[in-house]
Amino acid sequence: MKWLQSNPQKEEKPRTGSLHTSGGIVETPNFMPVGTRGSVRGLSSDVLSRAGTEILLVNLFHLWLRPGENILKGSGGIRPFMGWKGPILSDSGGFQILSLKERRKVSEEGVHFQSPYDGAPVFLSPEEVVRFSGSIGVTIAMVLDHLVSPDEGEKKNREALERTLRWAKRSLDARESVSTEMALFGIVQGGLDPELRKFCAGELSGMMGASGATFDGYGIGGLGIGESPEERVSLVSAALESLPEDKPRYLMGVGYPEDLIQAVGEGIDLFDCVLPTRNARNGMLFTRSGRLIIRNARYGEDYGPIDKTCSCMTCQSYSRAYLHHLFRTGEMLGPVLNTIHNVTFYLSLMKEIREQIVIGTFSKWKHSMLEHLNSRGNHE
Amino acid sequence: MKWLQSNPQKEEKPRTGSLHTSGGIVETPNFMPVGTRGSVRGLSSDVLSRAGTEILLVNLFHLWLRPGENILKGSGGIRPFMGWKGPILSDSGGFQILSLKERRKVSEEGVHFQSPYDGAPVFLSPEEVVRFSGSIGVTIAMVLDHLVSPDEGEKKNREALERTLRWAKRSLDARESVSTEMALFGIVQGGLDPELRKFCAGELSGMMGASGATFDGYGIGGLGIGESPEERVSLVSAALESLPEDKPRYLMGVGYPEDLIQAVGEGIDLFDCVLPTRNARNGMLFTRSGRLIIRNARYGEDYGPIDKTCSCMTCQSYSRAYLHHLFRTGEMLGPVLNTIHNVTFYLSLMKEIREQIVIGTFSKWKHSMLEHLNSRGNHE
């Protein structure tokens, strides 16, 4: 895997580049639609491609439980299984240490989970995560990290960070025995403490496996779970200070369009978030002039598309009135069409960001776009 | 609207032809996916087209309630509203006389319903159905008929039939004041009595509006609700005996692939049915060698497509193992992909039927195909 940075523009920090992975080239900055259990809710791979998707995210913990390694291997890997020809990044299960708190026990060796499906025991270790990712043909694997909630206090946060670093080293070692071209990304933790974030990023940057391998990129994890926008900016900046300029940086699980634009300005290359897909299912749609809630009565007789500037299949063929009708009647096509729009919106935004960076007008564009997006209250 | 019959083959009864409607040409025999409330569950119009759909069915009663006439007219009609460029046939609400038995009162004038959404009163008359269909730009409108359950007895059946005929005459009269090119189909009722079916068909065939207009085609209604296959054959034959050869005949709400093949052999040109879509959502898939239930454990490690001979998007990109996984994890993409397959299956079958009729081998093909389809038990 190579990441080419075509236009560093150090003063403003935004970077464009491309990830050369075994599954194809991904231009950055870019956004990954979330397919936790091996599908982006309601969208076929064909529809995802047409929405502009270049790379997908899946969750290793969920795939481990269902369908499991045998079936993924029997299918020729996760990409043929999902009918997806492009690259796939797998999140490791670190997030589940937080979200399935009642069903897991963390030790130095790894994490013992109880399956949320049937209570069966599951053991994830840094080595197993790397091995499993390689075994199922993931393009970019995230290491297993120990994620704690900001309210667990300083001591727990520091312990988890130190464990995350020891696990990161074990992951690098384990990666050397995986024969595929898989890339491996370390994950910066450190909770709400900028100093710890900076320390963690520095440690990961200098980290080497037994045979000298380093990380191919870096995730910044544990954000988008309750910190304020100002806190996030300072935490991301602190991490970026100690990460190498020539490798991709991925802000995990964040966020709204305005958050993405902001983070690109700080130097982030890659994103994933459930917002465009989950909110679409609830009828919340993103537009260039703010968000709209399609169930609101005012859209019942609104014959225009969601967003006049959008080229997605939904906006090309359907009106707000139709989408309002689908929501009201509970028709499954509603979530499908809404998701197509929101995913296209995120991916078009990333494409526009890349174009703006290349022609050197990102900073100006950013201010104007943030103003438009912040008119969101008006629409709802 | 013209219906061209290219190859009557009277001895074997199958006919091919094409319906020339304001929305485009529909080759017959053909099948209409069901979009009761203005959407075929989970499928965009684009996906429907790629599955081979030429004409859709909607339900006037449901559209009357939601979104209602104003919004449909504001959208430029039902076709722009649904983003569907081809023709649309509307069922009238006669079926709801049966299915919403507790919420309606039939009089000579029409039917008083209570809305299943909010209890609001709704009045459908033969004239209102024709007017509403024209107003929202339906391509083919079915008249309002009075449908009764077979177990309501001979007297009720005969009364309903006679009312259906009086309503049919009023519909023809009303149609003369609709200015669009809309086609109007009469509906043969008569319950399980072949003599009544024949009588009704004869009456409808000779029926004329005040200015001499006749029906553009004929539906055979009230079937697919519990009669045996043998009963159905004799009822359909009885109706066809008295229907003109040169106009399309539409068997409403029927049925399994084998039922459609059988009915084409008797002289039916057009079908609709919820089976391919509803069963898809429950994980029942049609194949050339019988049906399969995707939740069954045996498909969990089956890496082949649903049907090797199928060219649908689902079969081109996904395995049975993947669809089994989607079913097990409750992912919305499962019903979507299953529906794409089943709809494509029905429409490919109709296409093959047309080809077999044209080259004169339908009868032989029919026997061999019915044998394959009847092996359905083996799969499940």
- pLDDT digit string (tens) for A187-238? 999 999 999 999 999 999 999 999 999 999 999 999 988 899 899 999 999 9
Q: Which amino acid is at A103?
A: R
Answer yes or no: do A43 and B319 touch at CB < 8 A: no
Answer yes or no: do A74 and B300 touch at CB < 8 A: no
Give the minimum alpha-carbon distance from A291 to chain B in angstroms, rounded to a whole number: 23
Give the minimum alpha-carbon distance from A331 to chain B in angstroms, rounded to a whole number: 6
Tokens 């529906």 belong to B339
- Whether residue B193 lies in the annotated active site: no
CB–CB of A236/A220 below 8 Å?
yes
Phi-psi region of B192 (alpha: psi -120 to 50; beta: other; left: phi over 0): alpha
Facing residue for A317 by CB, picked from B45, B76, B314: B45
Those residues of chain A whose CB sits closer than 8 Å to some CB in chain B are 37-46, 66-67, 70-71, 74-76, 81-83, 300-301, 303, 313-314, 317-319, 321-322, 324-326, 328-329, 331-333, 335-337, 340
Question: Which sign, positive or negative, has the C-alpha torsion A226, A240, A193, A252?
Answer: positive
Residue A23 has pLDDT above 90, yes or no: no
Output the six-digit token pair for B372: 């394959």
- Other C-beta atoms closer than 10 Å to the C-beta of B48 total 25
Span of A123-127, A154-158, A179-183 with lowest mean pLDDT? A179-183
Confidence band for A22, pLDDT divided at 50, 70 and 90: confident
pLDDT at position A345 is: 98
Answer yes or no: do B38 and A322 touch at CB < 8 A: yes
Give bridge partners of residue A272 from the DSSP assignment. Answer: A32
Give the minimum alpha-carbon distance from B317 to chain A in angstroms, rounded to a whole number: 5
Residue A378 has pLDDT above 50, yes or no: no
pLDDT at position B24 is: 86
Phi, psi of B142 (to 5 degrees): -90, 140
Catalytic: which of B259, B269, B272, B307?
A: B272
Task: Please state, for a pLDDT cut of 90, what percent of chain A lies above it.
Answer: 83
Residue B57 has pLDDT above 70, yes or no: yes
pLDDT at position A24 is: 87
- Give ∠ CA A97-A130-A153 in degrees, rounded to 5: 25
Facing residue for A83 by CB, picked from B74, B303, B318: B318
In total, the C-beta contacts within 8 angstroms joining chain A to chain B are 123
In whole angstroms, give the CA distance from residue A111 to residue A113: 6
Give the minimum alpha-carbon distance from A139 to chain B in angstroms, rounded to a whole number: 19
- Whether residue B307 lies in the annotated active site: no
Catalytic residues of A: 91, 272
| pLDDT tens per residue across span B147-171 | 999 888 999 999 999 999 999 999 9
Confidence band for B347, pLDDT divided at 50, 70 and 90: very high
H or E element in which residue A290 lies: strand A290-293
pLDDT at position B1 is: 65
Average pLDDT value over all residues in chain A: 94
CA atoms within 13 A on the CB side of B118: 5
Q: At what angle do helices B257-266 and B229-241 cross, to 10 degrees?
A: 30
Answer yes or no: do B329 and A74 touch at CB < 8 A: no
DSSP A295-343: TSGGGGG--S-S-TT--SHHHHH--HHHHHHHHHTT-THHHHHHHHHHH
Tokens 């060219």 belong to B311
Answer yes or no: do B41 and A322 touch at CB < 8 A: no
Highest mean pLDDT among B37-51, B101-115, B352-366: B37-51
Facing residue for A313 by CB, picked from B37, B38, B46: B46
Answer yes or no: do B75 and A303 touch at CB < 8 A: yes
Q: What is the CATH number of domain A2-273?
A: 3.20.20.105
| Per-domain boundaries in chain A | 2-273, 281-379
Answer yes or no: do A300 and B337 touch at CB < 8 A: no
For residue A85, give the chain B residue with the closest CA: B317
DSSP A229-253: HHHHHHHHHHHHHTS-TTS-EEETT
Where is pLDDT greater, at A30 or A24? A30
Facing residue for A39 by CB, picked from B38, B45, B333: B333
Residue A368 has pLDDT above 60, yes or no: yes
Burial of A267 (0-12, 13-18, 19+ CB in 10 A): buried
| pLDDT tens per residue across span A36-87 | 999 999 999 999 999 999 999 999 999 999 999 999 999 999 999 999 999 9
pLDDT at position B238 is: 97
Residue A367 has pLDDT above 60, yes or no: yes
CB–CB of A110/A123 below 8 Å?
yes
pLDDT at position A277 is: 98
Facing residue for A332 by CB, picked from B41, B67, B337: B41
- Give ∠ CA B100-B104-B105 in degrees, rounded to 5: 145
Region A128-145: mean pLDDT is 97
Span of B9-23, B122-136, B323-337 with lowest mean pLDDT? B9-23
Confidence band for B12, pLDDT divided at 50, 70 and 90: low
pLDDT at position B19 is: 86
Q: At what angle do helices A333-358 and A257-266 cross, to 10 degrees?
A: 30
Answer yes or no: do B44 and A313 touch at CB < 8 A: yes
Region B366-371: mean pLDDT is 94
Residue B6 has pLDDT above 70, yes or no: no
pLDDT at position B188 is: 98
Task: Please state, for a pLDDT cut of 70, what percent of chain B lies above it.
Answer: 96
Give the minimum alpha-carbon distance from A76 to chain B in angstroms, rounded to a whole number: 9
Span of A1-10, A125-134, A350-359, B52-61 with lowest mean pLDDT? A1-10
Span of A170-184, A336-350, B75-89, B291-305 with lowest mean pLDDT? A170-184
Answer yes or no: do A42 and B332 touch at CB < 8 A: yes
Answer yes or no: do B328 and A66 touch at CB < 8 A: yes
Q: Which amino acid is at A119?
A: G
DSSP B4-42: EES---TTT----EEEEETTEEEEESEEE-B-TTSS-TT
Residue B8 has pLDDT above 50, yes or no: yes
User: pTM for this structure?
Assistant: 0.96
pLDDT at position B179 is: 81
pLDDT at position B378 is: 47
Answer yes or no: do B319 and A42 touch at CB < 8 A: no
pLDDT at position A10 is: 64
CA atoms within 13 A on the CB side of A74: 15
| pLDDT tens per residue across span B188-223 | 999 999 999 999 999 999 999 999 999 999 999 999
Catalytic: which of B46, B91, B151, B269?
A: B91
CB–CB of A91/A58 below 8 Å?
yes
For residue A70, give the chain B residue with the closest CA: B301
For residue A343, list chain B residues with Cβ-Cβ distance below 8 A.
none
Those residues of chain B whose CB sits closer than 8 Å to some CB in chain A are 37-46, 66-67, 70-71, 74-76, 81-83, 300-301, 303, 313-314, 317-319, 321-322, 324-326, 328-329, 331-333, 335-337, 340
Facing residue for B71 by CB, picked from A300, A318, A332: A300
Give the minimum alpha-carbon distance from B134 to chain A in angstroms, rounded to a whole number: 20
Give the minimum alpha-carbon distance from A147 to chain B in angstroms, rounded to a whole number: 25
Facing residue for B44 by CB, picked from A74, A76, A333: A333
Answer yes or no: do A39 and B66 touch at CB < 8 A: no
For residue B332, list chain A residues with Cβ-Cβ distance below 8 A.
41-42, 332, 335-336
- Give ∠ CA A319-B272-B145 in degrees, rounded to 5: 95
Residue in A336, A341, A343 to test binding to B, most B beta-carbons within 10 Å: A336
Tokens 């919305």 belong to B332
Answer yes or no: do A41 and B326 touch at CB < 8 A: no
In whole angstroms, give the CA distance from residue A84 to residue B199: 58
Within 8 A by CB and 6+ apart from A298, the residues are none
Answer yes or no: do B82 and A322 touch at CB < 8 A: yes
Residue in A40, A63, A65, A71 to test binding to B, most B beta-carbons within 10 Å: A71
Answer yes or no: do B331 and A45 touch at CB < 8 A: no
Residue B46 has pLDDT above 50, yes or no: yes
CB–CB of B380/B91 below 8 Å?
no
Q: Which amino acid is at A364?
A: K
